[in-house]
Amino acid sequence: MRRFNVPLIAAMAVALPPLAANAGGPLVDIRSVDPTIIVELRYAGRNNLVGYPLYPSGTCALTRPEVASGLAAAQAFLRRYQFGLKIWDAYRPVAVQEKLWHASHNSDYVANPEIGVGSLHSWGVAIDATLVDTWNRPVRMPSDFDDFTPAAMWRYVGPHADVRAHVHLLQIAMRNAGFWGLRTEWWHFTIADWQKYLSNQAARTAQVSGTQWRGKL
C-alpha cells in the first residue's frame, strides 16, 4: 500500500495549492490498494457540473487508508455478482470544494467549505462511486453523477427493474464494507466512523451543526 504524506501530495499537484491541507492524515491511492477498481475522476475532465477540469490530469483517487480497504472489500463482494466499482470522486482539496461551491451556487447540494466541516471529501473519508459490469462497462443507474434532481435520491422509485437492482447491489456492497450512504445522492458514501478522522475541532463543529453535512456533496 503506497502512503502519501501531506508534503508529497502537495508536491505532486502544484496546480492545487493546499491540496491535503484539510485531510488530517495520510492518504493512499485507491488503485494501489485494489488495482481492479476503476477510477474516472469526473472533476479531472470536462464532464462535470462546471464543464472544465478542476484537477490536474493524472490526479489519483486518494482516500484515508481505511476507506481504501473498505472499497477493496466492496469490490470483492461485487465481483461475486459480476460487477465492480467505478470511482467518480474521492479526496477533494478544499480549494476545489471552494470552486464547486462558487460555480454551483446550489447550497442544497454543495457543502460550503467555510461552514462546519465543509465536505467530508476534503477529509478523505467520502467517495463517489457507481457500478460497472464485469468488462468494466457502465451499467444503468438512476442518474448521472452530480444530478441535482429527484432521480439522484437514494431510494429509487423509477420503473426500471435493472436500475433498481444495480443501485440496491451497490448499496448492499457499500453497507457491508462499512459505509453510509446519503439520502439525496445515490453515488455518495462516507466511512461509517468518519468522525474518528476529523480533527477534534472539526468533530466538535460537526456535532454542533448536527447532521447538516450529510445532505451535501
**Residues found near Zn ion in the complex (CB under 5 A):** 128, 188, 217
CB 44 within 8 A of CB 37: no
Residue environment code for 144-155, b if the CB has 16+ CB neighbours within 10 A, otherwise e = bbbbbeeebbee
Q: CB 57 → Zn ion: shortest distance, Å?
A: 21
Q: How far is the CB of 46 from Zn ion (least distance, A)?
A: 19
Please work out, in degrees rounded to the nearest 5, the angle formed at the alpha carbon of residue 42 by the alpha carbons of 44 and 5.
Answer: 55
Report the residue number, 80 or 105, with the smaller CB distance to Zn ion: 105
**Closer residue to Zn ion, CB minimum distance, 64 or 188:** 188
Min separation Cβ 53 and Zn ion, Å: 18
Q: What's the min distance (Å) between Cβ of 104 and Zn ion?
A: 13
Which residues in 12-167 belong to E strands, given as ranges? 28-29, 38-39, 62-63, 83-89, 126-133
Shortest CB 119 distance to Zn ion, Å: 7
SS3 204: helix
Helix-then-strand count for the chain, H and E: 6, 7
- Of the candidates 66, 79, 61, which has an alpha carbon nearest to the alpha carbon of residue 13? 61
CA separation for the pair 38, 53 (Å, rounded): 19
Task: Identify which of residues 2 and 96 has a Cβ nearer to Zn ion in the complex.
Answer: 96
Smallest distance, Zn ion to C-beta of residue 52, A: 19
For Zn ion, the closer CB: 29 or 128: 128
Q: Nearer to Zn ion by C-beta: 22 or 79?
A: 22
* CA within 13 Å, CB half, 74: 32
Q: Which is nearer to Zn ion, 42 or 166 (CB)?
A: 42
DSSP SS3 for 38: strand
Q: Which residue is nearest to Zn ion (CB)?
A: 188
Partner residues linked to 84 by β-bridges: 132
Grid coordinates representing 186? 445515490
